Homo-oligomer: A and B are copies of this chain.
């Protein structure tokens, strides 16, 4: 399923693409960054077919981006959580969101989601900065809120606990 060549490319970009695996992988990571963790929540959020979801979750687990954890014994059920490696993809997903907002790739009347400082409410965004002197905002201060283009899917994702940005 995953081409060996991507991992062999000695390229960090190819390595990131390889780890996510395919288009659905990005949406599953997105949903997990919103705090979704369960099978039915992923399906409700993205409409991903059940078999594809099972395959992608397994691949993301193999790539070390997510881990499984039982949340119920009878019947046994697992939920899925981001590993540190997976949570660290927030910058990629955030860069995608910002691009989609700038180019109206969301098909909505405005940005579906805004990223703000959880204490001050001030808008946050990704930028290129000097590695030493850039005034970075700790991602743990960031929180996602409904934007002007939010629909019921966005409300569903935001309705979960723990929608830290990263």
- Whether B151 contacts A10 by the Cβ 8 Å rule is yes
Cα of A58 to Cα of B134 in the assembled complex, Å: 39
Residues of B within 8 A of A142 (CB): 128
Cα of A115 to Cα of B134 in the assembled complex, Å: 15
- Whether A137 contacts B126 by the Cβ 8 Å rule is no
Main secondary structure of the interface of A (DSSP, over half): mixed
- Chain A 16-47 near chain B by CB (<8 Å), digits 1 or 0: 11110111001100100000000000000011
- Whether B91 contacts A126 by the Cβ 8 Å rule is yes
- Whether B27 contacts A113 by the Cβ 8 Å rule is no
- Whether A15 contacts B105 by the Cβ 8 Å rule is yes
Which range holds the interface residue count of chain A? 35 or more
- Whether A149 contacts B17 by the Cβ 8 Å rule is no
- Supposing A27-B13, A27-B17 touch, asked if A125 and B129 sit within 8 A by C-beta, the answer is yes
Shortest C-beta distance, A127 to chain B (Å), equals 4
Q: Which of A102-138 contact B (CB under 8 A)?
A: 102-103, 105-108, 111-113, 115, 117, 122-138
A93 within 8 A of B: yes
Residues of B within 8 A of A127 (CB): 126-129, 134, 136-137
- Whether B10 contacts A153 by the Cβ 8 Å rule is yes
